[in-house]
Amino acid sequence: MQRPPFEHVILVDEDNHPIGTAEKTAIHHDATPLHRGFSVFLFDREGRLLLQQRNLQKQTWPGVWSNSCCGHPQVGESTTEAMERRIKDELGIAGVSVTVILPDYRYRYDHDGVVENEFCPVAVGILDQEPVPNPDEVEAVRWIEWEQFLDETAGPNAYSEWCVEESRLLSANPSFQQFYQQLTQ
């Protein structure tokens, strides 16, 4: 799959107000400015979570296992539109409806000298088909039971820091608990 010639991020202030844009590849370094992103956790009808290993050539967190899909909204694109676009781009699946559970999540993590610094709404969705990963974005995928995933993230691991923190916040969130309970009944 061919990448767009210019993918940008929306730069924001401490109140998440847009203050400009920048090319995505130019801003991820040791002093990454605050910008908008998003994370998606996708489940199958059995309640299993889809994880992805990030492509080994990615600028940020190469080869690290993380949640189902991450990305950056583009100017003029809602967060859910951006999520649905990236699910299709990364996992080859169109038509997945997502629900934002954690609208105000924010994080800053450093990994091997590269910083992520985002306002990052977190959503969930249900997959009714197997992913067809884009090799430019995804090294591998795997399905895992939610409780097993939470156990794995409790100790030292190779998951992205935001994925670990987001999973803990989701587990404690009543809207997520209701979503997961309905999914697994």
pLDDT in tens, 126-149: 999 999 999 989 999 999 999 999
Kindly tell me the sign of the dihedral angle through the C-alpha atoms of 166, 131, 5, 25: positive
Q: Tell me, what DSSP letter sits at residue 155?
A: S
Higher pLDDT pick, 40 / 185: 40
Question: Is-contact 24 8, C-beta < 8 A?
Answer: yes
Mean pLDDT of 19-26: 88
Question: Is-contact 163 153, C-beta < 8 A?
Answer: yes
Higher pLDDT pick, 25 / 74: 74
Mean of the per-residue pLDDT values of the chain: 90
Query: β-pairing, 122-126 with 38-43?
Result: parallel
Mean pLDDT of 113-133: 93
Q: Coil, strand or helix: which one is 8?
A: strand
pLDDT band at 114 (very low <50, low <70, confident <90, very high): confident
Residues recognised as catalytic: 70, 118
Rounded to two decimals, the pTM is 0.92
In order of their start, the domains of the chain are 8-170 (3.90.79.10)
